[in-house]
Every structure is written in structure tokens, then in C-alpha cells.
Structure 1
């Protein structure tokens, strides 16, 4: 048997099928149960075509990966979180960026040896609504799209709605009289046309899809999620325990390359946008990617301008305080699927069970220390969340 958790495999297919329902595919269950070790020594990287993936992609574009440590081909593009998760669990890829709540779910439900190495980015997501919507109350009685149930997008959106006395619901129509909003999962690329034809009232997602709606004038950015939860993590850099055990030097090399890429992007965001589009890493047009990385002269108001909530940030350290706060929020989040894994997901222990910060701490030291990356010297912070 592979190093997939025996606890879940011995539980039988039924429990795993329910869990995989959150991904919309029982193929994920099959992948977890039949996964074997890849013979290729070079690590393969997978990603979704969103700006969240920028550090992994810029590292490849700039030739930052150490020779022989990573596959010579481009990182592998996936169109859905389910597809990326399945490839990761089945060992078709070794390194990826995953939604952090999704990484927690995968580790607990499938026992897939998931290990978070560090943060891929902070901020970079927003709630985009139809042009005529100016207040959250106008979403009552409508559908709003999210990219995945276990995502920071869904978690923060639900926190916002509840703070405004609006109840998020799934699998039942929204009601004005009951002050509910129906949440539906939708591929990010489908959100823009859905908003354009008004089949949804809004969506919450990573960029550049918020920037695209703004550029095409089919929607307006209502709230940057970074204006609600300061410098929250969305996607994290992940690998598996078996990769760490067998290729620790390659894992260190990938982490070093990602940290170096984060510094490059921060130093010249326009150049990064050019590289992401001209190199065919992202399929979206340059103006949308450039806007997503820079948001110049933003036509919106923010409640916390000192937080720079409109700017996607790039720093690698995974704060334990965030993991704890995230797990607490997950317990309060409505999803369409099994929530049983939350029963033993303890906010006080989840971080050390999921995160291996050995490699990122080495990388931070090698790239000038905490000061060079704009991090506090003691690597401690207090989470700042303001819903109203």
C-alpha cells in the first residue's frame, strides 16, 4: 500500500466518495487509492491559470529552478481545482499551488500526505458584482458564484454576508423574504460570461477575473477580500511527504526559486505581467493580468487603504496565526458536501500537522532574511479581520 492514509482507505469507498463529492468527481477517490510513485526524478509542477500561480510561473520563466530538480517542460496547466487536486493526489505532479482550505481538506479526507511548504501569495481576490449593485443587500434573493467550497473566497464571502444579516444557502433557491443568497460553484472562466448575461449577480474569485469584469465593464469590484482579512493567504505551495523524503534538495530548490520569484514580482509587477502573458503561462490578455498585479488608479473605495487590499502580495512565510483563524472559520462555513473531517480538525494543532516550514525558513535566510521580504523579525503577527 502507498503512504496514503490507511485510516481512510480502510474506511471503505463510501466515505471517500462522499468526501470527493466536494470536488465533483469520484475520480479523486480512485486516484488516492491507486496512486503509485513516479519514476521520473525531476519534480513536475501543476497550476491553475490565475495570478495566484505567478511565483511558480515566474520561477520557470526566469530560469530560477535548479537544473535537474524540476521537469524541463513548462508547468502543467489545469482548468479546475478538481483536476489539479486529482493530479496531485495521484502523483502525476509533485508541486502545486492549492487553496489552503482545500489543502487541509485533502490532508484530512484523503490522507494524501499533503504538506504545505509556504505561502504562494496573499490577497489577490475580490467580490465582483453586476454594475448596478452597490450594496450587499442587493444580493439578497440572487445567486453568487464561488470557485470551490473549501476556499478562502467562500469563507470570507459567508462571513461578509452573515455580518450583514444575510444567510448563505446551498441547493435551494435564494429568497428575498428570508434574506438568503444561494451559493454555487463555478469555474472562474465561466464566471465572467455568467455575470455578463446576468445569470448570477456576482462572484468571488481570484484575479485576473475581477480585473476582466472591470475592464469589460460587465461588473464592478465591490470588495477586495484583503479589505476584510488583511494579507490573508489564498493559495499555498504544496508537495507531499514522499517527495520531501525522497527529494529534499529538490524541494529546497523549488522553495528557493519561488521565494526569489516573489521578490522579482514585487520589484517589477509590469515586467511580471509581460512574462506571464508573453510566455503563454496565462491565457488572459496582458491588460487584465497587468491590472490584476497593479490596479493603478483604482476606481473604488477601500476601508483600509493602509492595508493595500487591492494589491496581491508575495511573501512566503506561513503564519500559524492564520492557519488557526482559518480553521476556526471553516467550522462556520456552509458547503455542499461532507463536513465530517472538521470534527477532528483542531485549530490549535492543524498548523503543525499540515505545514513544514523548514524549507521556507532556509529560503528566507538565503534571500536576505525577514527584512528583505518585509516580514516581522519574530515571524509573528496578529490576524486582522473586519467585516463591517
Structure 2
């Protein structure tokens, strides 16, 4: 573990903070007392209340999870990535959607047996700034919020800043003369009020928080991350090696349900938005969630309109080319925390060490094959990253 303890990682400056109210629900907190002394017969699912979680939630709303494979109660809601990660690592939940770079970090630092089953979604994130900011240069000397250090949000934001000769810094006051921007980790739900009171100049995060800022007119979407890295994976479907070993049929059933839910969302995004809000899965208002899933009125002139960068996508196949390119980008990313695990992280081997696509390939075949999701027959692609 590179000289760093699990407890230090979970309580230190890596963004995983154990705090009061960590587990997001009373029943999950109570179950913590007996963790390790029992095993649930049905898998428990956890999520953050963002549109990234839609496939997991629609699968529950549409009753796609087979009885007995998944807990009959609703997926457990968490308020921060740190809370979700801690519950996953400590085996309070068995399946979740995690930030792809976070999954890599957890597997290599904690040895937590994290296993990516497939992609949960693509795109779905943006850099939102104060209404008067029209250029990245105006962020110099200010604070910008990110949801987690090891996130595609932080990685792409830093790429954008460096392309303009702007330096991202951590735990150092931003300076106009030195052309720096200070990055701070913030829970997604706290970002909107922070932008409203101008304690930050912008944030980069998943929807519907970008849509909310636009609807409330307290911020404007400067760029969708899909306009920078085409159809990148943000959150991935994860479980642990021990769950796969002990409950392979349940893992397959969960994967089948999530893949089926992805198709349902693609077929009717309006109905999906209604299910997510009326069913109590997402606390944000219907107009924000509906906007986030469709963006009928583009908020800015896209750099690459043929990429449809505003649309959160739902396809499950985890491209090895993305994992490789992502690990390469992680080596260049500034974070507040231990980075030593990167020294032994080989981009060419990372995908095989992290991803088990057996279950998702079975699910894709059961739905009719790769063409149903618009995937190329050879399941190969070249990553397209173009900075503004």
C-alpha cells in the first residue's frame, strides 16, 4: 500500500473523508455495526444523486433487478463521493457507480478488490462558471470546485487550464500574477450555493448541477467535457472481487438489469427523468433532470457539434483505449494526496488489472448485440481529445 494505511487514505487529504452521516441512510449506518460478521443474501447498491446514476436507479424503478439478487429496498443514497467510496470499501454496499479514476485509485492503493464491470454512462459533465465569466482567463486568481481529486472532471479541467498556460494549484491561494487557479474538492450539492454567493468562480461536475445553475441563472455552462474528450467514461459500474467469486449469478443479474436500463433511458429520456424524480431517487426538480438528460437548447456554440457533447450517453462497453489514455492523464494530474501508486501503474496493463467485461458482454449479447448500442463490431476505438 505504498506506506499509506487504509485509514489514512480514508481520513486524509485524498478526498475520502469519514464524517458524521457518512452512510447516507439510517439503516445502512446501523448495519455498519455488524459488518464483517454477516453476508447479505441480496446485493446492496449505493449511488450519488446525480444523473450519472440513472441506469442503476431506472433498473430499480422498472423492476429489472431479479428478486433475491438485489436488496428489495431502494438503492442507498450518499451525499459525497467519499461517503460512497468508504461504504463500498467497508462492504456496506456491494455494487455502485464510481468515478473511473477513483476506481483505479482504490484498487491500487487500498487493495480493495475493486472490479469494473462496465461503463455506467459517457459524457454528462460540464464546466459551469459565474454568469459574467466568458473566458478561461477570467478564472485566474480564483477558486474552482471539483467533486473529487481522482475524477475525469479534475483531469479534463487541468488539461483545459494548461492549454491556456494557466497552472492549477492545491492548498495555495490562487494568484493572478502567477496565472494560477486554486482547485478545491466540494460535494456536488454544495457547488450551486457556493457559485451563487461567489465563494467560487466555477465548478466542474456531473449533471444535473450544471443544468440547475443555468435554470436558476446563477451560472452558465462554459463547456461540456464531452466537447473536449469525446464520449469519455465518467462513472463506471463496480463491484468487488469477493462479490464476483461468491455471487457470480447475482452479479450477472445486476449487470443485465443495468444494461437493459441504459437502453430504456436512450429510448425515452423524458420518461426516465420523470421516474428519477417522482420515484424519489433524485432530489433535484424535474425540469433540471429533464434538461440534463436532453439539453434541448444548447447553452453555447459547440466546438465539435458532431460529437453531441451535451448528451449524457448510456452504453456499457468499457473500451481498453480509454483506460489506457486515462491512466496516462492521471500521471499528469495534480491532486492533494498520495500519488505514489502511479509509479507502478502501467497504462498498457491497467485495463486488464481493473476491468472484467465478461458479465457486460453477456448482457450486450442478451440485448441483441453491439449494434443495439451503436458500438462498432470490432469494439475498438481511438480516443479523441481536443483542447479548446
| TM-score (normalised: structure 2) | 0.94
* Map of 1:220 onto structure 2: 220
Cα offset for 1:40? 1.5
Match of 2:9 among 19, 28, 37: 19
* Map of 2:93 onto structure 1: 93
* Map of 2:31 onto structure 1: none
- Secondary structure at 2:204's aligned position in 1? strand
Write out per-residue CA displacement over residues 238-278 of structure 1, whole angstroms, 9 at most, x where no aligned residue.
00001001110110010000000000000000000000000
* Map of 2:41 onto structure 1: 41
What is the 5 A alignment of 1:238-249?
238-249=238-249
Write out per-residue CA displacement over residues 179-213 of structure 1, whole angstroms, 9 at most, x where no aligned residue.
00000001111100110011100000000000000
Cα offset for 1:300? 1.1
Please say if residues 123 and 225 of structure 1, whose CA atoms lie closer than 8 Å, have aligned partners that are also in contact: yes
- CA distance in structure 2 between the aligned counterparts of 1:16 and 1:246, rounded to whole angstroms: 24
What is the 5 A alignment of 1:1-388?
8=1, 14-20=4-10, 21=12, 22-25=14-17, 36=36, 38-388=38-388
- CA distance in structure 2 between the aligned counterparts of 1:258 and 1:38, rounded to whole angstroms: 26
Count of residue pairs the alignment pairs up: 374
Please say if residues 262 and 315 of structure 2, whose CA atoms lie closer than 8 Å, have aligned partners that are also in contact: yes
- CA distance in structure 2 between the aligned counterparts of 1:16 and 1:113, rounded to whole angstroms: 13
- Secondary structure at 1:172's aligned position in 2? coil
* Map of 2:27 onto structure 1: none
Please say if residues 38 and 92 of structure 1, whose CA atoms lie closer than 8 Å, have aligned partners that are also in contact: no
Cα offset for 1:18? 4.2
Please say if residues 37 and 91 of structure 1, whose CA atoms lie closer than 8 Å, have aligned partners that are also in contact: no
- Secondary structure at 2:103's aligned position in 1? helix
Cα offset for 1:332? 0.2
Please say if residues 18 and 337 of structure 1, whose CA atoms lie closer than 8 Å, have aligned partners that are also in contact: no
Please say if residues 70 and 250 of structure 2, whose CA atoms lie closer than 8 Å, have aligned partners that are also in contact: yes
Cα offset for 1:36? 2.6
Please say if residues 145 and 191 of structure 2, whose CA atoms lie closer than 8 Å, have aligned partners that are also in contact: yes
Cα offset for 1:35? 6.4
Write out per-residue CA displacement over residues 13-38 of structure 1, whole angstroms, 9 at most, x where no aligned residue.
x543443321343689xxxxx96364
| TM-score (normalised: structure 1) | 0.94
Please say if residues 15 and 185 of structure 2, whose CA atoms lie closer than 8 Å, have aligned partners that are also in contact: no
Q: Check 1:99–1:153 CA distance in 2 against 1; reply closer, same or farther (3 A cut).
A: same
- CA distance in structure 2 between the aligned counterparts of 1:164 and 1:242, rounded to whole angstroms: 45
Give the gaps of 5 or more residues in structure 1: 1-7, 29-33
- Secondary structure at 2:290's aligned position in 1? helix
- CA distance in structure 2 between the aligned counterparts of 1:322 and 1:35, rounded to whole angstroms: 35
- CA distance in structure 2 between the aligned counterparts of 1:249 and 1:330, rounded to whole angstroms: 34
- CA distance in structure 2 between the aligned counterparts of 1:25 and 1:59, rounded to whole angstroms: 29
- Secondary structure at 1:238's aligned position in 2? strand
- CA distance in structure 2 between the aligned counterparts of 1:376 and 1:205, rounded to whole angstroms: 29
Write out per-residue CA displacement over residues 96-155 of structure 1, whole angstroms, 9 at most, x where no aligned residue.
000000000000111000000000000000000000000000101110000000000000
- CA distance in structure 1 between the aligned counterparts of 2:93 and 2:353, rounded to whole angstroms: 22
Query: Higher mean Cα deviation, 14-23 or 118-127?
Result: 14-23
Q: Check 1:84–1:37 CA distance in 2 against 1; reply closer, same or farther (3 A cut).
A: farther
Write out per-residue CA displacement over residues 154-188 of structure 1, whole angstroms, 9 at most, x where no aligned residue.
00000000001100000001111110000000111
Cα offset for 1:39? 1.9
Cα offset for 1:67? 1.5
Please say if residues 295 and 311 of structure 2, whose CA atoms lie closer than 8 Å, have aligned partners that are also in contact: yes
- CA distance in structure 1 between the aligned counterparts of 2:5 and 2:285, rounded to whole angstroms: 42
